[in-house]
Amino acid sequence: MKKISSFSKSFFFGNLLEDIVSPYPHFSKDEKENVDLLFESLAKFGKEHINSTQIDREAKIPEKVLTGMKELGLFGLIIPQEYGGFGFSQTAYCKTVENFVQIDNSCAITIGAHQSIGLKALLLFGTPEQKQKYLPKLATGEMIAAFSLTESGAGSDAAGIQTKAEFSEDKKYYILNGSKIWTTNGGIASFFTIFAKTMCADGVERVSAFIVTRDMPGFSTGKEEGKLGIKGSSTTSVTLTNCKVPAENVLNQVGYGFKTAMEVLNSGRLGLSSGCLGVQKKLIQLCVQYAQERKQFGKSISQFGLIQKKIAQMMREAYATESLVYMTTGLVDRGNIDYSLESAICKVFASESLWRTVNEALQICAGNGYMKDYPYEQLLRDCRINMIFEGTNEILRMFIALSGIQGPGERLKEIGRALKDPIKSVGLLSGFAVKKIRKSLAIDRFKSIDPGFKDITSFLEEYIMDFSSRVETALARHGKSIIDKQFALERLSQMAMELYMLTCVIMRATDAIKREGKDKSKAHILISKAIGYRCLDHIRALLKQSDSNDDESIKQIAAYAYAQKGYDLDAV
């Protein structure tokens, strides 16, 4: 079945597919009750058994904590009930991750890597036999799962992996050779989703995905890596030396491994984003308490404008992240919607807003924030990785822009071809011309947003059009070489991010007003408007930079540093 197109990709054409994002999604009542019940047990378990400082110091999750997590069912959150899991939706899963990170990041990463990515390909693409064989054990945590894609020479360039899988002569096995690095859960997992290149029937090498278990001959994992943060989570290399993997352990079809990995990461990035949101909420709570208790110059520091500014910023960041994340998990739960771009947006936005938040939190607590007696320095170390793993934010920015412009690019190519043969293509060209004229006369308008946001939406609607015309200009200017124009792509992806974020924020605030009335939604209105005005300023600046920027000087400065092998301009 053809997927419903992506809401954010439609911006690149100047279209507003409002029906996809309206109304703002919600939990079902039953699921909310289940999630709330789990939170209660989770909070109690965390209080009694999880010592986050100790986990960080010893760089290990104690065995009894892992056992407790298994008993609570945390390894089976997304596994269907028929296989012994909770069968949570994407929204319920993300809400659980959001809560669990507030207890400990390493523990949350462990269940996150298990479900967001470790067993996700099995869930999405496994055969009934594969599911029957592994899911019950994965649901109880008897088997822990890991996802092994990255290699020393293939990080962001995931398609560049060198691990090979050769079909055995008797056609019963694939023989895997190669090594993977930085596999989360590597040291504790016994179920691995491993990606390797296979020769396909047409003589072309392509990536395939395999279920590999620890007991297979030729499989081994390396020592635990020492890390900056999330120290309790396990990270190791994986080595495959003539590792015999039964032919029936191929996940999805042979040669479809790259797409499989990308689909897994699309949903994995949402788990990570909800984790970032959870830490933001925890930091706000800690900082508000600290600021209200700490006295300087005879009064509570919470009364100082510069502290209020930081707290307000943290509130805006959390509200924006939350609106983005749960809009997007709602898209996943509706099914059959392309959300690849939206999940990348969530990951980039959530990890960067958490980074800004943890930085400000440490600053509010100043000297205390820097000390190990307080939780901030550990949280700062723990959350740095979010901008790196599951796709660096840089590569995801390129992905957002390039996959967005693919549509308009193909459309322009089509128009270009049609112009060469205008007589035959009269239908296409007149359709295009009509659309262009229609667009210049009437831009798509939001229909379901509360009228109180008119001052924001009228600009937003205009900027969606301006954005699409910048896309067209960039494509016309650079053609195919747009792929290498990273400054231009970064601006386009940032604009797409801001447009989607602002849409999610006002949809959510509108929903609050509809459900609770204006009086009870004052906080929603206040925060969403504050986000809106800032966001419009950012978009305005980005539109301006599309025409006038310092791209050339950036390139020249970098070239100078490369030529001098560093900084050679001593002042004295």
Cα distance between residue 161 and residue 179, in whole Å: 10
- Which residues, in sequence order, are bridge partners of residue 192? 146, 212
Query: Applying CB under 6 A, does 503 fall inside the site for ligand MYA?
Result: no
Pick the closer one to ligand MYA by CB: 158 or 512: 158
Closest CA to 277 of 319, 236, 312, 340: 319
CB of 570 to ligand MYA, least distance (A): 39
Interface residue with ligand MYA, options 187, 330, 391, 409 (CB under 6 A): 391
Interface residue with ligand MYA, options 57, 82, 159, 515 (CB under 6 A): 159
317 is catalytic: no
Pick the closer one to ligand MYA by CB: 205 or 421: 205
Tell me which DSSP letter residue 88 carries.
-
Tokens 């990308």, located at residue: 262
Cα distance between residue 179 and residue 183, in whole Å: 11
- Count each helix (H run) and each strand (E run) in the chain, helices first: 19, 10
Closest CA to 532 of 464, 457, 468: 457
Helix (H, G, I), strand (E, B) or coil at 148: strand
Interface residue with ligand MYA, options 109, 245, 358, 506 (CB under 6 A): 109
Binding track, positions 174-213, relative to ligand MYA; x by CB under 6 A: ----------x-----------------------------
Task: For strands 191-199 and 145-148, give the pairing.
Answer: parallel
Pick the closer one to ligand MYA by CB: 195 or 459: 195
CB of 522 to ligand MYA, least distance (A): 30
62 burial (CB, 10 Å; 0-12 / 13-18 / 19+) is: middle
- Which residues, in sequence order, are bridge partners of residue 239? 179, 220
Helices (H), 240-304: 257-293
Query: Applying CB under 6 A, does 272 fall inside the site for ligand MYA?
Result: yes
* Total site size for ligand MYA, rule CB under 6 A: 35
Window of 254-262, 283-291, 314-322, 557-565 that interacts with ligand MYA by CB under 6 A: 254-262
361-398 burial code (b ≥16 CB/10 A, e <16): bbebbeeebeeeebbbbbbbbbbbbbbebbbebeebbb
Query: Applying CB under 6 A, does 149 fall inside the site for ligand MYA?
Result: yes
Tokens 């104690």, located at residue: 62
Residue type, 144: I
Query: Applying CB under 6 A, does 158 fall inside the site for ligand MYA?
Result: yes
CB of 511 to ligand MYA, least distance (A): 26
Cα distance between residue 365 and residue 374, in whole Å: 9
Pick the closer one to ligand MYA by CB: 271 or 408: 271
For residue 361, the surrounding DSSP H or E stretch is helix 340-370
Query: Applying CB under 6 A, does 378 fall inside the site for ligand MYA?
Result: no
Pick the closer one to ligand MYA by CB: 275 or 532: 275
Interface residue with ligand MYA, options 265, 287, 327, 496 (CB under 6 A): 265
CB of 116 to ligand MYA, least distance (A): 5
Query: Applying CB under 6 A, does 101 fall inside the site for ligand MYA?
Result: yes
Interface residue with ligand MYA, options 12, 125, 147, 173 (CB under 6 A): 147
Interface residue with ligand MYA, options 31, 360, 390, 450 (CB under 6 A): 390
Residue type, 51: N
Where on the chain is the footprint of ligand MYA (CB under 6 A)? 97, 101, 105, 108-109, 112-113, 116-117, 147, 149-150, 156-159, 184, 258-259, 262-263, 265-266, 271-272, 275-276, 279, 340, 386, 389-391, 395, 399
Residues designated catalytic: 390
